[in-house]
């Protein structure tokens, strides 16, 4: 029987962080993962690498004044904790803000992590100061994006592996947490057949054997449910977000299947806040997919006009980049699962970014030359965006609005979009461009964005008339709901130790990352501030790896 001090179920970012920290303490660690070795790092590899950091040198150089107090106000205004079981999530939220305003950046910097100097302003809210959203830019883009975020911890794990302190077992699927006298003592499951699929692709589930491993502690770091649409729909909060979409695109690979949630519950773990989730409204179908139904999110600046399936412009806070779940509710209330951007080439060139490390090779490869070439001095959008314009089934391009609306109607049944109604709305908006004054809330938001030099330089186009041919061509984008993050999860204390339904700790059993709602069973509450997904994996994995309850 193989034994170690700790078994970690899941080789994603949280698992790598926990393993590195444990091995630094001299613990022997076994990491098991159902996917092949080339998938190490999990979903984090595909991410944009954004981290929510607070009061950093990068912010100060951009003229941003941030503080722990302001960040905590933003977090609590977004989380809107309102349940008795939110006690531990609230503690985790406060602890993360302390970490992000303190030790996080110097600790990561010491390990070699660096960030793009322009701090992004994600999820701006669009309500009151006491409500949801980031008051200031906090989205620190890791140099190297997702792979760059993963690299320091994978390097540490590989060094410990070479020294014999960490063992990696791929194609090992956990199906049971071994419990004896109420304490975790190991895991058991199936060995899956080898698979040569490229990273992110769907792999086989052919069983060629079984296994049992023993350890004094088990840490579950298996991720969320976003790759399983049936689980997403089962947990969907109809009262808050309307009916679940009949059609969605997948923002995560198929292996993000949530299977360890029920296995952990069978071992005594307590799942809370399962109805809290985070999906985006700006998904487009990947013309060159990696995983099934692969979607890519457009990360928009504030200038594109946003219309529902019937051609009605969304009211505030349904503005690009402001309130993801608020806009999602507006979309679902229409009875359709999609919406539309109408925009110009000038806006797309400056404001459209795409999620995913593979869509940002300049950042991924840490090439300043390519960043400047593709994002600053290029007359077109980035090559990845231009490729979607040319090949993506959700994009249409036209020289006139009449032609554009006809092409947009051609993508959906029923000719729901009225040229006269949409043209009247756009002309009314265009009439607001001639003066620095405006009554249009979106135009106010554009002016406010350009007061921040980071947005003015890179993310917000100079206000211009959409129907002026000089700013064209016109572009229409059909936007799909795209799955992404699980905000609820297995309840844990600040040591990442799982709690049972009575609130008592389960000896030897821990959870970190998305399966734990990034800490406590849902430290985001109802909304997220962005950069808190990877940040939560790092923080909760570190907490687990440093837990004094791991003997």
- Encode burial over 180-200: b for 16+ CB neighbours within 10 A, e otherwise: eeebbbbbebbbbeebeeebb
What is the structure's pLDDT at 404?
98
Checking if the pLDDT of 161 tops 80, the result is yes
Q: Are 146 and 357 in contact (CB under 8 A)?
A: yes
State the CB neighbour count (10 A cutoff) for residue 109.
13
Q: Are 478 and 356 in contact (CB under 8 A)?
A: no
Percent of the chain with pLDDT over 90: 97
Comparing C-alpha atoms, which of 347, 346, 472 is closest to residue 401? Answer: 472
Mean pLDDT of the chain, nearest integer: 97
Comparing C-alpha atoms, which of 357, 381, 356 is closest to residue 304? Answer: 381
Q: Are 273 and 87 in contact (CB under 8 A)?
A: no
Question: In which band, very low, low, confident or very high, does the pLDDT at 216 lie, cut at 50, 70 and 90?
Answer: very high
Percent of the chain with pLDDT over 70: 100
DSSP of 333-358: HTT-SEEEEEEEHHHHHHH-EE-SGG
Checking if the pLDDT of 387 tops 80, the result is yes
Question: In which band, very low, low, confident or very high, does the pLDDT at 539 lie, cut at 50, 70 and 90?
Answer: very high
Give the whole-angstrom CA distance, residue 67 versus residue 77: 15
Please report, for residues 4, 10, 156, 159, 541, the alpha-carbon distance to residue 162 in angstroms, rounded to integers and kept in the order given. 16, 20, 10, 5, 21
Which DSSP letter does residue 193 get?
P
What is the structure's pLDDT at 466?
98
Checking if the pLDDT of 2 tops 90, the result is no
Give the whole-angstrom CA distance, residue 254 versus residue 289: 12
Token couple for 388: 């979607």
Q: Give residue-wise pLDDT tens across range 50-70.
A: 999 999 999 999 999 999 999
* Residue range 71-84: mean pLDDT, rounded: 98
How far from the centroid of its chain's Cα atoms is residue 203's Cα?
A: 23
- Residue recorded with tokens 């579950």: 220
Comparing C-alpha atoms, which of 210, 211, 216 is closest to residue 186? Answer: 216
Q: Are 515 and 496 in contact (CB under 8 A)?
A: no
Give the whole-angstrom CA distance, residue 8 versus residue 31: 5
Give the whole-angstrom CA distance, residue 255 versus residue 200: 8
Comparing C-alpha atoms, which of 113, 145, 48, 50 is closest to residue 364? Answer: 145
Q: Any bridge partners for residue 297, and if so which? A: 283
* Residue range 323-337: mean pLDDT, rounded: 97
How far from the centroid of its chain's Cα atoms is residue 130's Cα?
A: 24
Comparing C-alpha atoms, which of 302, 269, 285, 291 is closest to residue 489? Answer: 269
The backbone torsions φ and ψ at residue 46, rounded to the nearest 5 degrees and listed phi first, read -85, -5
How far from the centroid of its chain's Cα atoms is residue 198's Cα?
A: 22
Q: Give residue-wise pLDDT tens across range 293-316.
A: 999 999 999 999 999 999 999 999
Least confident interval from 122-126, 149-153, 336-340: 122-126
Q: Give residue-wise pLDDT tens across range 242-273.
A: 999 999 999 999 999 999 999 999 999 999 99
Question: In which band, very low, low, confident or very high, does the pLDDT at 376 lie, cut at 50, 70 and 90?
Answer: confident
Checking if the pLDDT of 378 tops 90, the result is no
Q: Give residue-wise pLDDT tens across range 175-194.
A: 999 999 999 999 999 999 99
* Residue range 506-532: mean pLDDT, rounded: 97
Checking if the pLDDT of 28 tops 90, the result is yes
* Residue range 419-438: mean pLDDT, rounded: 96
The backbone torsions φ and ψ at residue 257, rounded to the nearest 5 degrees and listed phi first, read -110, -5
Q: Are 264 and 498 in contact (CB under 8 A)?
A: yes
Checking if the pLDDT of 1 tops 80, the result is no
- Residue recorded with tokens 């998938």: 39
Give the whole-angstrom CA distance, residue 97 versus residue 94: 5
Please report, for residues 168, 470, 521, the alpha-carbon distance to residue 192 in angstroms, rounded to integers and kept in the order given. 15, 58, 30
Checking if the pLDDT of 96 tops 80, the result is yes
What is the structure's pLDDT at 203?
98
State the CB neighbour count (10 A cutoff) for residue 142.
25
Give the whole-angstrom CA distance, residue 111 versus residue 107: 7
Question: In which band, very low, low, confident or very high, does the pLDDT at 379 lie, cut at 50, 70 and 90?
Answer: confident
CB under 8 Å to 293, separation ≥6 — which residues? Answer: 248, 249, 250, 285
Q: Which helix (H) or strand (E) holds 476?
A: strand 474-486
Comparing C-alpha atoms, which of 260, 357, 330 is closest to residue 11? Answer: 260
Task: Kindly report the three-state secondary structure assignment for every residue of 452-467.
Answer: CHHHHHHHCCCCCCCC
User: pTM of the predicted model, to two decimals?
Assistant: 0.97
Token couple for 411: 């993508």
Token couple for 167: 């063992």
Q: Are 40 and 33 in contact (CB under 8 A)?
A: yes
* Residue range 83-87: mean pLDDT, rounded: 97
What is the structure's pLDDT at 179?
98
């Amino acid at each position: 029987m193989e034994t170690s001090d700790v078994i970690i179920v899941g080789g994603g970012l949280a698992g790598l962080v926990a393993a590195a920290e444990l091995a630094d303490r001299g613990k022997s660690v076994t990491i098991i993962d159902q996917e092949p070795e080339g998938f190490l790092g999990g979903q984090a590899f595909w991410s944009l690498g954004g981290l929510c950091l607070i009061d950093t040198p990068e912010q100060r150089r951009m003229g941003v004044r941030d503080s722990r107090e302001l960040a905590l106000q933003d977090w609590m205004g977004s989380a809107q904790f309102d349940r008795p079981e939110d006690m531990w999530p609230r503690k985790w939220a406060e602890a993360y803000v302390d970490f992000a305003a303190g030790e996080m950046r110097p600790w990561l910097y010491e390990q070699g992590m660096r960030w793009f100097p322009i701090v992004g302003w994600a999820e701006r809210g669009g309500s009151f100061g006491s409500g949801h959203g980031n008051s200031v830019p906090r989205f620190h883009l890791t140099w190297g994006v997702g792979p760059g975020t993963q690299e320091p911890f994978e390097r540490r794990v590989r060094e410990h592996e070479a020294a014999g302190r960490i063992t990696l077992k791929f194609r090992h699927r956990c199906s049971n947490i071994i419990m004896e006298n109420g304490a975790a003592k190991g895991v058991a499951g199936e060995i899956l057949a080898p698979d040569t699929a490229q990273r992110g692709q769907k792999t086989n589930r052919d069983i060629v054997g079984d296994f049992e491993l023993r350890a004094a502690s088990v840490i579950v770091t298996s991720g969320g449910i976003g790759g399983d649409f049936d689980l997403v729909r089962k947990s969907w909060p109809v009262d808050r977000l309307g009916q679940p979409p009949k059609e969605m695109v997948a923002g995560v690979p198929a292996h993000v299947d949530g299977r360890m949630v029920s296995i952990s519950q069978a071992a005594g773990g307590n799942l809370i806040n399962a109805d809290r989730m985070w999906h985006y409204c700006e998904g487009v179908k990947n013309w060159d997919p990696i995983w099934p139904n692969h979607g890519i999110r457009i990360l928009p600046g504030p200038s594109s006009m946003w219309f529902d399936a019937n051609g009605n412009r969304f009211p505030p806070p349904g503005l690009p980049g402001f309130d993801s779940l608020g806009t999602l509710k507006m979309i679902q209330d229409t009875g359709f699962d999609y919406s539309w951007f109408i925009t110009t080439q000038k806006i797309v060139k400056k404001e459209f970014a795409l999620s995913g490390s593979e869509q940002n090779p300049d950042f991924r490869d840490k090439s300043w030359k390519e960043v400047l070439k593709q994002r600053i001095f290029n007359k077109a959008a980035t090559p990845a965006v231009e490729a979607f314009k040319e090949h993506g089934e959700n994009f249409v391009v036209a020289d006139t609005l009449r032609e554009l609306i006809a092409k947009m109607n051609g993508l959906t049944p029923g000719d729901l979009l009225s040229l006269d109604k949409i043209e009247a709305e756009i002309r009314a908006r265009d009439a607001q461009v001639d003066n620095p004054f405006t009554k249009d809330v979106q135009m106010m938001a554009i002016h406010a964005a350009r007061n921040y030099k980071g947005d003015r330089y890179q993310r917000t186009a100079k206000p211009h008339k959409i129907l002026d041919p000089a700013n064209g061509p016109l572009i229409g984008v059909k936007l799909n709901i795209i799955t992404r993050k699980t905000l609820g999860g297995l309840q844990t204390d600040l040591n990442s130790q799982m709690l049972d339904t009575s609130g008592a700790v389960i000896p030897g059993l821990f959870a970190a990352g998305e399966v734990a709602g990034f800490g406590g069973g849902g430290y985001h509450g109802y909304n997220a501030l962005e950069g808190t997904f990877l940040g939560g994996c790092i923080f909760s994995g570190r907490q687990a790896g440093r837990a004094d309850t791991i003997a």
